[in-house]
Structure 1
Amino acid sequence: MKLSQKLTAKTKLNQTLRSWLPILQVASDELKETLEPFIEKNPFVQLEPNPKSRSLNFYSDIYKTSISDTIESSIIYKESLYEKLSSQIDDKLFPSKKSKEIANLIIECINSEGYFEWDDGIFIGFSKDEVERVRARFAYLEPVGVGAVDYKESFIFQLDELCDNDEIYELCVEIIQNFENISKFTKRKNYEAAMSLLKKFKNPPAIEYMDNEMLVIPDIFVYDSDGGIEVAINDEFYPNIHIDIEGIDEKSEFVSSKIKEAKDLIDALEMRKSTLHKIGLMIIEYQYDYFFGGDIKPMKLKDIAEDLGRNPSTISRAIQNKYLSSKRGIVPLKNFFAAAAAEEVSNAAIKEFLLNLIKNENRAKPLSDEAILAKIEDEFNIKLVRRTITKYRKMLNIASSSERKKLYAIQG
């Protein structure tokens, strides 16, 4: 009997989760918009603004840099990269329901620089060929170049939009595909015109949106408390759902079904809060040292999923477009989930170190993969092989040292 009750409860929970998965997945500032279609179909439910104002004062007391300032700054509307892209997923380029669904999943996998990063946990039920066919249409979206896998493909996307001269177009394609041997094109006809055009390209493609990252709204707050740290959910953007059935016959099949839908909706919101809170607690447990100045340590989605009794794909969706705020700043939740490069070092920490090396390198003499390897081994006291550095560099859409030298020359 007990086993049967547990299975029934688990089945109900899974059904609710599947039914309201968009509520789990969506960013906090889009919650109200996501809930409205459900509310419109239910005559017994009203969506009321969250009257909480105390949470802003509460959190402003926690931090010297007030979280209320972060939220207040978000009121000054500035369209994000993801809003810009989402607004363009229409019937013109994505006529079918399936193509729209894939396009929206692709947007989830576009990083802050505008490059696409494949995620197995996102494209469940779709083949790579299906995704690639839809991603190809991102060449026609704005900002031009977003959705490409690397800077070369981004340049091709931008070239399609900005060049209407066939001869210059063909030469630009050759140059883009052969940046490492750019010198062989200097005597070609239209070389100057091609280079003048290439200098206008954006790299990274979403560069004008990158300054907006601090306007994101944290979903989880981690703060110091009596010598330790605690986690709290930012429920400022969670609207209240009010069920009004006064004077209504609840025994009616229609009414009872709508009441059940409303209660499922409330359960889904609570499930979202509960799941994010548990993820926050797990992050504290796994990444305790990070909140006191240490590096992010290896942490896998499947470990959290097992502890929470969830599927890894569910956790992957739960952390998409979500952010954690602590005294170390605001960071995407996905930054805490990284495979191990060594027992006590995550590849996220290594990638961050690699990025800083590239940002501060001598442009006249860019660092080779061997030089980067030596610096990383010295910094983290670990042993790696050069191909690992090459893999990380490519994952970060960073060109080779010779290609970067050519790019620096183009940028002046």
Structure 2
Amino acid sequence: MSATQRLELRQGQSLTMTPQLLQSIKLLQLSHAELVAYVEAELERNPLLQEAEGGAFPRSPARQAPNARRGGGIGSAPRPLPVPKGPSSGGSVRTGGGDSELKPELEATLARAASLTEHLEAQLDLAGADREIRQVGEHLIHSLDESGYLTEDLADIAGRLAVSTETVEAALRLIQGFDPPGVGARNLAECLALQLRERDRLDPAMETLLGRLDLVARHDFAALRRLCGVDAEDLADMLAELRRLEPKPGLAFAAASVDVLVPDALVRAAPGGGFTVELNPDTLPRILLDRTYHAQVVQSVKSDKDKVFLSECLQNAHWLTRSLDQRARTILKVATEIVTRQEAFFREGVAALRPLTLKAVAEAIGMHESTVSRVAANKAIGSARGVFPMKSFFAAAAGEGGHSSEAVRYRIRQLVEAEAPDAVLSDDAIAQKLKGEGMEIARRTVAKYREILRIPSSADRRRRAKHRLKTP
């Protein structure tokens, strides 16, 4: 019995990721310090590039066109974009210009070891996960703190990315399997458990021990022996094994992190109300294509090898200047849309932060969600209220009433800090107070946010308050 073979001709479209396209994507997500190092390396490598004294993207007066907030328009340089005045815009916002003290030191432009983010991204590229998991995983990697912990709630991340919580959990499990062991943990117990699992030492007794680290801190060894079902010698061995683990796996890469948060975009009060967004001139690379030098050199080049080298230098110089221009325009578009939607935050503070997703911003400015995610990573917005990471403006909705989870957590912290020693608020009481302020939040949600904020329970706060009152 012979199989029938048939030859078919099909026509389709596919996107080819050229090296330059891949590099443009990487360029978009670089932080200010990383971009400086990259441009410095290109200036050394390409003789047709030169550093311009005035800057490649000069600042210009704000335009008050009604549709200007959607982007920088067509032109040789991105301009400051005014944010239209909202129905209740008011107040004044002042921000200073670029501070020369924020310019990177020489060491920032030298060769360095890979950062934790770069180390994890390299593993994510090789993981072979599907496209959605990779995109969520990239966002999670950029959300880790310097110790390698994920401090954000998974439901909030899912709401921000407009994906299911199961997808976020799957991406987190993928990252938790990366090196260094323990990275991506949400708390100390999970961090230690990941390392023990990697060593095949996570038995039931050890799981019980990790679940009661509070007893370890109090040195209540009798209770631990009873709960774990082990004798004193076994418990001592288990505790010794815990001490050999790394509680902060990300700190091994901390030397590559940048402590100074430099704003990529600045928010100013517009004369007619609302706010104007402009790029920070101190973060704009100042490079130009030296056409005069190219004209001189091209006449003296004789060998084919030199001609190929000069042609590649010219092509790379054109690509880099265009890519930097596009990067600046994209950052300005995203920052302007964020300020437009979070205008109340710049007037009133964290309590007025509204729910916002990457998808909403992407649809408004006509870009892909992954592009907005890359822009939000490692970028910051400066205003009179301070300098804030761009990704902090993306917050999931909490309950009903259109309040963001960040605003609700901020209000919970305020209520706890203002409570009297003899009138400690329970989670249910906090939920009722929030309901009276228009925040329809369930008691279990209050408990979850309180734990995220590392606020003790009402019983613990009450005991501490009584202890303070008794202490002379």
Q: TM-score range by the shorter chain?
A: 0.5 to 0.7
Q: 1:251-262 maps to which residues of 2 (within 5 A)?
A: 258-262=313-317
Query: What SS is found at the alignment partner of 1:246?
Result: helix
| Cα pair distance change 1:122/1:33, threshold 3 Å | farther
Query: Does the alignment pair 1:48 with 2:51?
Result: yes
Query: What SS is found at the alignment partner of 2:266?
Result: strand
| Cα pair distance change 1:311/1:50, threshold 3 Å | farther
- Which of residues 303, 312, 321 in structure 2 aligns to 1:266? 321
Alignment match, 1:71: 102
Q: 1:291-310 maps to which residues of 2 (within 5 A)?
A: 291-294=346-349, 295-310=352-367
- Which of residues 164, 188, 202 in structure 2 aligns to 1:151? 188
1:187 deviation in Å? 5.2
Query: Does the alignment pair 1:275 with 2:307?
Result: no
Query: What SS is found at the alignment partner of 2:281?
Result: coil
- Which of residues 129, 136, 142 in structure 2 aligns to 1:108? 142
Alignment match, 2:208: 174
- Counterpart CA distance in 2 for 1:328 and 1:214 is 19
| Cα pair distance change 1:235/1:352, threshold 3 Å | same
- Counterpart CA distance in 2 for 1:154 and 1:146 is 7
1:151 deviation in Å? 3.4
| Cα pair distance change 1:355/1:270, threshold 3 Å | farther
| Cα pair distance change 1:49/1:287, threshold 3 Å | same
Query: What SS is found at the alignment partner of 1:321?
Result: coil
Alignment match, 1:7: none
274-283 vs 307-316, which deviates more?
274-283
Query: Which structure: larger Rg?
Result: 2
Query: What SS is found at the alignment partner of 1:20?
Result: helix
Query: Does the alignment pair 1:246 with 2:295?
Result: yes
Structure 2, unaligned runs of 5 or more: 1-14, 59-92, 302-306, 465-472
Contact 2:33/2:258 (CA < 8 Å) preserved in 1? no
1:153 deviation in Å? 0.9
Alignment match, 1:4: none
Query: What SS is found at the alignment partner of 1:384?
Result: coil
- Counterpart CA distance in 1 for 2:439 and 2:424 is 23
- Counterpart CA distance in 1 for 2:27 and 2:276 is 25
Q: 1:20-35 maps to which residues of 2 (within 5 A)?
A: 20-35=24-39
1:221 deviation in Å? 1.0
- Counterpart CA distance in 2 for 1:403 and 1:153 is 25
Task: Report the identity percentage.
Answer: 24
Structure 1, unaligned runs of 5 or more: 1-10, 56-61
1:130 deviation in Å? 7.5
| Cα pair distance change 1:299/1:401, threshold 3 Å | same
Which deviations, in whole Å up to 9, do the C-alpha atoms of 1:329-352 show, x marking residues without a partner? Answer: 111111212233344422221133
Contact 1:50/1:236 (CA < 8 Å) preserved in 2? no
Alignment match, 1:370: 428
- Counterpart CA distance in 1 for 2:236 and 2:411 is 37
Alignment match, 2:176: 135
Query: Does the alignment pair 1:237 with 2:283?
Result: yes
1:27 deviation in Å? 0.6
368-377 vs 114-123, which deviates more?
114-123
- Counterpart CA distance in 2 for 1:278 and 1:288 is 15
- Counterpart CA distance in 2 for 1:302 and 1:204 is 33
The residue identity in structure 1 corresponding to 2:271 is D
| Cα pair distance change 1:185/1:100, threshold 3 Å | farther
Query: What SS is found at the alignment partner of 1:376?
Result: helix
The residue identity in structure 2 corresponding to 1:374 is Q
1:303 deviation in Å? 2.2
Query: What SS is found at the alignment partner of 1:222?
Result: strand
Contact 2:427/2:458 (CA < 8 Å) preserved in 1? no
The residue identity in structure 2 corresponding to 1:218 is P
| Cα pair distance change 1:202/1:129, threshold 3 Å | closer
1:158 deviation in Å? 7.6
The residue identity in structure 1 corresponding to 2:346 is F
174-183 vs 267-276, which deviates more?
174-183
Contact 2:334/2:361 (CA < 8 Å) preserved in 1? yes
The residue identity in structure 1 corresponding to 2:126 is K
- Which of residues 366, 370, 386 in structure 1 aligns to 2:443? 386
1:274 deviation in Å? 1.0
176-185 vs 289-298, which deviates more?
176-185
Contact 1:367/1:401 (CA < 8 Å) preserved in 2? no
316-325 vs 129-138, which deviates more?
129-138
Which deviations, in whole Å up to 9, do the C-alpha atoms of 1:261-290 show, x marking residues without a partner? Answer: 322221211111111212222223222222
| Cα pair distance change 1:88/1:258, threshold 3 Å | closer
1:310 deviation in Å? 0.2
1:368 deviation in Å? 5.4
1:152 deviation in Å? 2.1
Contact 1:175/1:185 (CA < 8 Å) preserved in 2? no
Contact 2:120/2:141 (CA < 8 Å) preserved in 1? no
- Counterpart CA distance in 2 for 1:301 and 1:89 is 22
| Cα pair distance change 1:279/1:137, threshold 3 Å | closer
- Counterpart CA distance in 2 for 1:106 and 1:365 is 39
Which deviations, in whole Å up to 9, do the C-alpha atoms of 1:79-133 show, x marking residues without a partner? Answer: xxx9752576699xx6x9625997976531314674235667699xx99768635
Contact 2:419/2:425 (CA < 8 Å) preserved in 1? yes
Alignment match, 1:335: 392
Contact 2:395/2:405 (CA < 8 Å) preserved in 1? yes
1:223 deviation in Å? 2.1
Contact 1:155/1:201 (CA < 8 Å) preserved in 2? yes
Query: Does the alignment pair 1:317 with 2:374?
Result: yes
TM-score w.r.t. the length of structure 2 is: 0.58
| Cα pair distance change 1:99/1:106, threshold 3 Å | farther
The residue identity in structure 2 corresponding to 1:132 is R
Contact 2:176/2:183 (CA < 8 Å) preserved in 1? no
- Which of residues 268, 271, 274 in structure 2 aligns to 1:223? 268
Contact 1:110/1:147 (CA < 8 Å) preserved in 2? yes
- Counterpart CA distance in 2 for 1:21 and 1:310 is 13
RMSD of aligned alpha carbons: 5.6
